[in-house]
Amino acid sequence: MKILIVGGGFAGVRAALELARDATNDITLVSDKSDFQYYPTLYSSATGHSHAESWAPLGEIFAEYDNVTVYIDEISGIDAEAKTVTAVSGTVYHYATLIMAIGMVTSYFAIPGLETYSHGIKNAEQIKRLKQQLFVDIAERRELDKNYIVIGAGPTGVELAAALGTYIKRLCRYYGVKKSNVRVRLVEAAPRVLPRSSKMTSRKVMKRLKQLGVRVEVNKRVESANAKQLIVSGRPIESHTVIWTSGVTNHPFFANHPEVFRMAQNGRVEVNDYLEAAPNIYVLGDNAATPYTGLAQTALHDAVTVARNLRRKANNKKPKKYRARLPASAIPVGKRWAVIEWRWIRIYGIVGAMIRRVADLIGYMDIMPIGTSIGAWRAARVYENDYFTPTVKMKRIK
């Protein structure tokens, strides 16, 4: 079977790995980046831990598969009649079966100045920019910002805010800069942190953040940003280090092709019981309007479901209906502390942190070869003194 997969993230890579087990499948994977990105640890890579924790080359993942060809290209068009997708490079890719999994894009909710004056931690470039700014402030200008502001108290915002203070203190120690008071603030529009978790978890996490010195401000709306200030519910807060973790929206590719895709109310793509958006076109992961969309475990589950059904189809068997599965959430809040939530189960503290470590290892192994997985997993313990700037090496003081 000739299968084209677009997107080298959780869903795309997992689907390719599952389908590649059948040597008669001829799989083409097109992704706009050469690396697979393990999102759950981006907050950690952004706060000094090894790059290897969050990125793995697609070439390495598929090195042993002769029936998978990877192209680095950005898809921009689709012709469902001709069964082709086109890329910005001008290449036309043909398919018999198409799997789309191109993930989300950042949205700034049209808040004036935010796109220009905030950082993100969604990819390597954004993380590099944030680390460079911290480096320039601390190692070169030798001063701290008045406030370090993380916007959005969802899992990413909480994880990042909890780790940021420790990272900044570490930088100060490393460069011999006196740290008077590192003010990390977490701003959230909803009435509590982790609004999608239980109230009990919100309370516990709030307490933990306070212990870590994070000032949490809920029920506060970000109104605008400029080079020196963030305006929050009418009040200016002095800062040039603002990190936006809040808004994501579906990839515009789908809305740009209404002749093929129908959009659900939540902005994701409508799919049938088999995750098909149109004949022989499957939409997976964050792009699909499924009950637990927006999580890596859902993307992996979608990929396995579709791959198994394609195998059944090839063997003239009836495909099985998609059954949504509630994923567990595992959110680290500072060192050796995490919250695990699944249905009525709640685990907090060091046991939670241990479970999250195991979950990460399983997460890596779902995608990467065993050696790469162990390397990525162990990299969580490695602090990199590489702030992505060559001058750093000359500035080392110890």
Ligand X SMILES: Cc1cc2nc3c(=O)[nH]c(=O)nc-3n(C[C@H](O)[C@H](O)[C@H](O)COP(=O)(O)OP(=O)(O)OC[C@H]3O[C@@H](n4cnc5c(N)ncnc54)[C@H](O)[C@@H]3O)c2cc1C
Rounded CA gap, 141 and 333, in Å? 30
**Strand 276-278 relative to strand 97-100, pairing:** unpaired
Rounded CA gap, 295 and 26, in Å? 28
From residue 85 to residue 114, what is the string marking binding to ligand X with x (rule CB under 6 A)?
----------------xxx-----------
Residue choice 61, 99, 296, 340 for contact with ligand X (CB under 6 A): 296
- Nearest approach, Cβ of 292 to ligand X (angstroms)? 9
Q: Pick the closer one to ligand X by CB: 40 or 334.
A: 40
By CB under 6 A, tell whether 254 contacts ligand X.
Answer: no
Q: How far is CA 328 from CA 60, 134, 345, in A?
A: 29, 34, 9
**Local structure of 182: helix, strand or coil:** coil
By CB under 6 A, tell whether 217 contacts ligand X.
Answer: no
By CB under 6 A, what part of segment 115-174 binds ligand X? 121-122, 155-156
Establish how many alpha carbons lie within 13 A of residue 253's alpha carbon, considering only the half-sphere containing its beta carbon: 22
- The structure tokens 């570490």 sit at 170
By CB under 6 A, tell whether 75 contacts ligand X.
Answer: yes
Contacts (Cβ under 8 Å, ≥6 apart) of 65: 16, 17, 20, 27
Q: Pick the closer one to ligand X by CB: 103 or 165.
A: 103
Q: Pick the closer one to ligand X by CB: 156 or 241.
A: 156
Residue choice 4, 8, 301, 340 for contact with ligand X (CB under 6 A): 8
Q: Pick the closer one to ligand X by CB: 11 or 27.
A: 11
Q: Which stretch binds ligand X (CB under 6 A): 29-37, 60-68, 228-236, 262-270?
A: 29-37
From residue 41 to residue 60, what is the string marking binding to ligand X with x (rule CB under 6 A)?
-x------------------
Among candidates 266, 288, 262, 261, which has minimal Cα distance to 275?
288
Element (H, E) at 364: helix 350-365
Q: Pick the closer one to ligand X by CB: 75 or 281.
A: 75
Q: How far is CA 20 from CA 2, 28, 264, 345, in A?
A: 11, 10, 31, 36
Residue choice 4, 5, 16, 39 for contact with ligand X (CB under 6 A): 39
From residue 172 to residue 211, what is the string marking binding to ligand X with x (rule CB under 6 A)?
----------------------------------------
Q: Give the binding-site size for ligand X (rule: CB under 6 A).
A: 34
Residue choice 11, 168, 206, 212 for contact with ligand X (CB under 6 A): 11
Q: How far is CA 381 from CA 22, 51, 107, 205, 215, in A?
A: 37, 11, 32, 23, 27
Rounded CA gap, 269 and 251, in Å? 10
Rounded CA gap, 281 and 19, in Å? 15
Binding site for ligand X (CB under 6 A): 6-12, 30-33, 39-40, 42, 74-75, 101-103, 121-122, 155-156, 251, 253, 285-287, 294-297, 299, 327
